[in-house]
Structure 1
Amino acid sequence: MNNKTAIVTGTSSGFGLSTSVELARKGFTVIAAMRNCNKSSELLQRARKYGVESKIIVHELDVTNEGSIKAFQTWINEEFRRVDVLINNAGYAGAGFVEEVSMDEYRQQFETNVFGVFAVTKAILPLMRMQKQGCIINISSISGKVAFPGLSPYAASKHAIEGWSESLRLEMQTFGVKVVLIEPGSYKTNIWSTGKQVAEESLKSHSPYQDYMQSIEKYIAEGENSFGDPEDVARKIAKIATMGNPDFRYPIGRGVKATILLKNFLPWGLWEKIILSKLFIK
């Protein structure tokens, strides 16, 4: 692993931070990309704890900015002879009811979670294609397979990543480049607190959806004690990064596999009743 290079986006917190450190511990040189490098202190402190700070290179990257991506691509091409792993992790979770989510908020969600992934991948693909080897790991979500009321911006963005990754996987197989989806359930990260729109409008007293959104928030809050440890996801990603022939999809987290299975096989009417009953909605 000493000569292998991994790029991870969105590394100032959450899965990105944990994955960067875990990959460094596995011997990778890690380019830890983040929009604001001033927020790298927690990452570097964690890396220092494990003695791998020298294996992590923090670099600025705004996945929604074409100029930033171009500058990052140029730097990678000039400074590194190859990229073995790309982990598209940067993202946030937008929420709210469809009627109350503005089109600008939908666009912002897609700029980061969808078009940002497209653009960064396109910047790194030529290197991987020419070296005839590489692994692209896209951080999706159970929300990419199972939608939930009040979370349409996030669910739509992750459904888009699922379909796009299927196409990319089939396109790159003959070039030796593997494409993988990680589908986490609920984990103790700050993905919600960093969102630009976290159901604010739907929680206001004048909103016709206030009671509904409060029921959703209550349901989520009651399950927080069972949220998983992000380190488990980081370890899974690092393991996949070292595999020669990884599978395409990796659902991970408490109840994730069972939930996806049920949703796929139950009649929609029954599935709908189950979801709404959990939220105390009749």
Structure 2
Amino acid sequence: MNQPIAIVTGSSSGFGLLTVLELARSGFQVIATMRNLEKGSDLLKQAKNQNLEANISIHELDVTSETSIEKLSTFLKTLGRVDVLVNNAGYAAGGFVEELPLEEYRRQFETNVFGVIAVTKTVLPYMRRQGSGKIINMSSISGIVAFPGLSPYCASKHALEGWSESLRLEMKPFGVDVILIEPGSYKTSIWSTGRQVTPSQEESPYFILMKKLEDYILAGEEGFGDPREVAQKVAEISTMKEPNFRFPIGKGVKLTIRLKNLIPWKKWESQVMKNVNKTKN
């Protein structure tokens, strides 16, 4: 009963799964949420192998469903408190603006932005009354640095950054911290099964550029980081007394952000296009 309680969304794989394990290892009672409970088998297996199963329970949650959010609200009443919320559920939509259906943007924002808002609104009253709590939002370097062919994802993460900044200032007087994690490229499913690309056809004027972008992403896969680094950072932040607002993490992330802020835009866009065009057709 004295254990701090953490809720993690999107816990079936990637950062979410690893974050659940790290928080459990740090002494939290972790509510691991996911849309499909059948996908929780890997998490439970790893938890058992690491003797962490007593600190983890699985709860069904679709962040885009009002009914599912209402069930979470009812469930929270049985808990009575929430100490940490990790908003991790999300996916990456890609394609070129002219070819992307508007509905794809709406779906992207429903999960990556409105889903985060809905879950957070459910938790806020508990943290406000407690006078404590941490809301950790999984952003991305894409929330600061945009990239061609990923406008739905980049736009959703830029929106998450702005919303989180406002929420941070709103909740500070109540003792609640809002934190952004801004990972670079890591070996998670978001760049494979978690990436939903609207492909260009061969006759499309964007076809060659799309191929170059795909090649650019694939060429960098060997250098992608170990996602456990991000999960460990989340667990570390969860016990900090006064955490910073932003935590950029990953190979070259801080340098990339610094360069974008320092050099003129024309030089920046020239370098981005040069990097993309280095790949073979």
2:136 aligned residue: 137
Q: TM-score, normalised by structure 2?
A: 0.97
Partner Cα distance (2:4, 2:149) in 1: 41
Q: Kindly tell me the number of residue pairs found equivalent between the two proteins.
A: 278
Q: Which runs of 4+ in 1 moved over 2 A?
A: 192-197
Structure 1 residue matching 2:71: 3-state secondary structure = helix
Deviations 1:36-67 (A, max 9, x none): 11100011111112100111110000000011
2:189 aligned residue: 190
Structure 1 contact 2–28 (Cα < 8 Å) conserved: no
1:7 aligns to 2:7 (yes or no)? yes
* AA at the equivalent of 2:60: E
Partner Cα distance (1:197, 1:59) in 2: 25
Structure 2 residue matching 1:183: 3-state secondary structure = strand
Question: Cα offset for 1:196?
Answer: 6.6
2:221 aligned residue: 224
2:23 aligned residue: 23
RMSD: 1.2
Q: Is 143-152 or 40-49 further displaced after alignment?
A: 40-49
Paired-residue identity, % = 62
Partner Cα distance (2:53, 2:72) in 1: 21
Structure 2 residue matching 1:159: 3-state secondary structure = helix
Structure 2 contact 113–156 (Cα < 8 Å) conserved: yes
* AA at the equivalent of 1:229: D
Partner Cα distance (1:32, 1:277) in 2: 42
1:280 aligned residue: 277
Deviations 1:248-278 (A, max 9, x none): 0000000000000101111000001000000
Structure 1 residue matching 2:38: 3-state secondary structure = helix
1:91-170 map, 5 Å: 91-170=90-169
2:74 aligned residue: 74
Structure 1 contact 63–120 (Cα < 8 Å) conserved: yes
1:193-208 map, 5 Å: 193-195=192-194, 197-200=196-199, 202=200, 204-208=201-205
1:247 aligns to 2:265 (yes or no)? no
Structure 1 contact 35–62 (Cα < 8 Å) conserved: yes
Q: TM-score, normalised by structure 1?
A: 0.96
* AA at the equivalent of 1:243: M
* AA at the equivalent of 1:65: S
* AA at the equivalent of 2:273: L
Question: Cα offset for 1:110?
Answer: 0.3
Structure 2 residue matching 1:6: 3-state secondary structure = strand
Q: Is 117-126 or 206-215 further displaced after alignment?
A: 206-215
1:179 aligned residue: 178
1:89 aligned residue: 88
Partner Cα distance (2:257, 2:99) in 1: 28
2:50 aligned residue: 50
Question: Cα offset for 1:170?
Answer: 0.2
2:64 aligned residue: 64
Question: Cα offset for 1:2?
Answer: 5.4
